[in-house]
Chain A
Amino acid sequence: MTKTSNPAELAAIAKTVRRHIIEMITAAKSGHPGGSLSATEIVTTLFFDVMKHDPQNPSWAERDRFLMGKGHACPVLYSVMAQCGYTPVDKLNTFRHLGSIYQGHPDVRFIPALEASTGSLGQALSVGLGMAIAAKLDKSPSRTFVVLGDGEIQEGQIWEAAMAAAFHKADNLVAIVDWNKIQLDGFVQDIMPLEPLVEKWKSFGWHVIEIDGHNIEALQKAFAEAESAKGVPSVILANTIKGKGVSFMENNPKWHGTAPSKEESALALKELA
């Protein structure tokens, strides 16, 4: 893989990721386009710029680790990992098919380069904290990044992990909330409001950074700021748009977990050309 810090190059990779997301979910006739599209810049920037990792040596002890808490958004992760060289790009369209390594939610049994099987919401931050503590014990520079859905953080376990991460001074742990304001049943505000979110994380002892989660330069700055915050874990509250990049999917709860038809898919790919 060729890493880059050039925002324009990262944006180009992100565009390919978006195309993959639409193609995979269309081929599977099921999946979650909205939350994959909203997290595209976050995951792309992490794997292609921020994280220290080596697709030729996935178990390198000092690698940075990535966990997709909102496992249903795995199409974005699969596309990025495939483009990095961990898994075949030409098999992405087997997503959700029997026997595919691209399972409906990330599954280490099929892709050993994944750090954990995720998708039962609320658990990945705890697992990531365990990894962060292990790195501290080993005096390893390894950092752990966990992408969380905004709906996901309604899970009580998130706040158990938040408390524990601050107590253990896990400054090598970074949570990124893909704050797209929509969950399966509708707008977060109507299902179970999270506000005041900045204050919530602050009160749990975290260093909080709020940004536009589609702005690659803002993401780069946020990850650097998180690295410089010592003695406390950091959370990046990334304001995003569900379905970002496909006009008819943007900000519409319908596209949380609906696959586009062939016609809709063609329309989306045209927009992402």
Chain B
Amino acid sequence: MAISTKYELKLGAATREAFGRTLAELGNKNKNVVVCDADLSKSTYTVFFQKEHPDRFIECGIAEANMVAIGSGLAAAGKIPFVSSFSAFVINKGFEQLRVTAAYPNVNLKVVGTHSGISIGEDGPSQMSIEDLSLACNLPGFTVLAPADEVSMAACIHLAAETFGPFFVRAGRAKAAIVYEPGTKFHVGGSHQLIDGKDIAIFANGLLVAEAIKAAEQLDAIGISARVIDLYSIKPIDREAITKAAEECGAIVVAEEHLKDTGIGTRVAQVVVETAPCVMEFVGLTNYAESGTPEAVLEKYGMTASVIVTAAKKALARKKK
């Protein structure tokens, strides 16, 4: 795909909407795809699937733990179940069920958590998941994906359906900037370098990929060459791209709409420490957020390009020592 440092970020659909549309299409191609939702189908957009395939839509009511285990039973009986709710509920309330009925027996369950991160805004912290990626990564055998835009979400849903084993795919509520051209390839364990650079590498996922692109442009304007990598596959993680970035740039910033202490940054750092130790800075959340417009919440809690720029400068200052 064509990448330039002058990126034109146009607002596209929310990744949850892309999930719903892709799922409905997938239902036409694969009759084994079934969908479970917990009274949030209009919000998770599984309603698109329900409209087209009502017989394969299984309403579970507001009982996420039960839904997860029903999904595991469907998977064990040969179906490809997608179970969906807000990340904050399906991962947290369903965690033990994910562990015992899906992860350790390695069943073909697909979990899609929508309304992830703090960008849901007004609904406030009880609905905001800021621990989901970490929890999902804690489940051995799970593949964990966090796509940035509608193109990558569609690809990730296809990957989940076509690859045997349990998956967690993270979706957001807010409209996401379009980063990818249609037809871009994605794979489990992959990443995409969106902008090349030599001074510092910025790893991001989800909404923060667009912010990382903006940050790279701001850094470019002051003579700093920043590489931007979308780490959409969080588990397995692209060790090669991380090691290469550490070796070639010697400084890394990881930016994520997730708790900083337990998120992707720690996973990137683990690779860096093992392969090519270098300076690192982390942009993420340190506590629960609050209600407000999505834009205001993201701004107040530091999920912005300018915070990434500051982190990059800090890393570069340490790199020079």
A117–B106 Cα distance when bound, in Å, is: 10
Q: Which residues of chain A from 156 to 213 have any CB-CB distance to chain B below 8 Å in the complex?
A: 157, 160-161, 163-164, 167-168
* B61–A164 CB distance below 8 A: yes
Most buried by A among B56, B71, B73, B99: B73
Chain A residues near B69 (CB-CB < 8 A): 123, 126-127, 130, 157, 161
Q: Which residues of chain B from 70 to 86 have any CB-CB distance to chain A below 8 Å in the complex?
A: 70-79, 81
A119–B72 Cα distance when bound, in Å, is: 15
* B66–A157 CB distance below 8 A: yes
Q: Which residues of chain B from 223 to 247 have any CB-CB distance to chain A below 8 Å in the complex?
A: none
Known contacts A123-B97, A137-B55; is A117 also within 8 Å of B61 by CB?
no
* B101–A116 CB distance below 8 A: yes
Q: Identify B100's interface contact among A61, A115, A120, CB under 8 A.
A: A120
Q: Which residues of chain A from 104 to 145 have any CB-CB distance to chain B below 8 Å in the complex?
A: 107-109, 115-117, 119-120, 123, 126-135, 137-138
* A130–B105 CB distance below 8 A: no
Q: Identify A117's interface contact among B55, B58, B66, B100, CB under 8 A.
A: B100
Q: Does B104 contact A (CB under 8 A)?
A: yes
A105–B105 Cα distance when bound, in Å, is: 12
* A131–B100 CB distance below 8 A: no
Q: Identify A135's interface contact among B77, B96, B97, B100, CB under 8 A.
A: B77
Q: Identify A123's interface contact among B77, B79, B100, CB under 8 A.
A: B100
A135–B105 Cα distance when bound, in Å, is: 20
Tell me, rounded to whole Å, the shortest Cβ–Cβ distance linking A135 to chain B: 7
Chain A residues near B77 (CB-CB < 8 A): 65, 130-131, 134-135, 138
A127–B97 Cα distance when bound, in Å, is: 10
Chain B residues near A135 (CB-CB < 8 A): 77
* A116–B61 CB distance below 8 A: no
* B81–A130 CB distance below 8 A: yes
Known contacts A115-B76, A123-B97, A127-B76; is A163 also within 8 Å of B63 by CB?
yes
Tell me, rounded to whole Å, the shortest Cβ–Cβ distance linking B308 to chain A: 41
* B76–A137 CB distance below 8 A: no
Tell me, rounded to whole Å, the shortest Cβ–Cβ distance linking A112 to chain B: 10
Which residue of A is nearest B36, CB measured? A130
Size of the A side of the interface (Cβ < 8 Å), in residues, is 30
Chain B residues near A163 (CB-CB < 8 A): 61, 63
What 1/0 mask marks residues of chain B from 185 to 209 whose CB sits below 8 Å from any chain A CB?
0000000000000000000000000
* B76–A116 CB distance below 8 A: yes
Chain A residues near B70 (CB-CB < 8 A): 126-127, 129-130, 133, 161, 164
Tell me, rounded to whole Å, the shortest Cβ–Cβ distance linking A163 to chain B: 7
* B73–A131 CB distance below 8 A: yes
Tell me, rounded to whole Å, the shortest Cβ–Cβ distance linking A122 to chain B: 8
* A127–B73 CB distance below 8 A: yes
Q: Identify A133's interface contact among B58, B61, B63, B68, CB under 8 A.
A: B58
Q: Does B60 contact A (CB under 8 A)?
A: yes
Most buried by B among A128, A134, A157, A167: A134
A28–B68 Cα distance when bound, in Å, is: 33
* A134–B101 CB distance below 8 A: no
Tell me, rounded to whole Å, the shortest Cβ–Cβ distance linking A248 to chain B: 34
Tell me, rounded to whole Å, the shortest Cβ–Cβ distance linking B77 to chain A: 3
Chain B residues near A127 (CB-CB < 8 A): 69-70, 72-73, 76, 101
A132–B69 Cα distance when bound, in Å, is: 12
Tell me, rounded to whole Å, the shortest Cβ–Cβ distance linking A51 to chain B: 15
Chain B residues near A109 (CB-CB < 8 A): 104-106
Tell me, rounded to whole Å, the shortest Cβ–Cβ distance linking A203 to chain B: 16
A117–B141 Cα distance when bound, in Å, is: 15
Which residue of B is nearest A115, CB measured? B76
Chain A residues near B73 (CB-CB < 8 A): 116, 126-134
Known contacts A130-B76, A131-B74; is A164 also within 8 Å of B66 by CB?
yes
Q: With A123-B69, A130-B81, A157-B66 given, name 11 new contacts (CB 8 A).
A: A115-B76, A126-B68, A126-B69, A129-B70, A130-B73, A130-B74, A131-B76, A134-B73, A137-B34, A138-B77, A157-B69
> Interface of A with B (CB < 8 Å)?
61, 65, 107-109, 115-117, 119-120, 123, 126-135, 137-138, 157, 160-161, 163-164, 167-168
> Interface of B with A (CB < 8 Å)?
34, 55-56, 58-61, 63, 65-66, 68-79, 81, 96-97, 99-101, 104-106
Q: What 8 pairs across the A-B complex have the smallest Cβ distances?
A: A130-B73, A126-B69, A134-B77, A160-B66, A160-B63, A127-B73, A130-B70, A130-B74
Offer 29 A-B interface pairs, CB within 8 angstroms, sorted by A: A115-B76, A116-B76, A117-B101, A119-B100, A123-B96, A123-B101, A126-B70, A126-B73, A129-B73, A130-B72, A130-B74, A130-B75, A130-B76, A130-B81, A131-B74, A133-B58, A133-B70, A133-B73, A133-B74, A134-B34, A134-B74, A137-B34, A137-B79, A157-B97, A161-B66, A161-B70, A163-B63, A164-B60, A167-B59
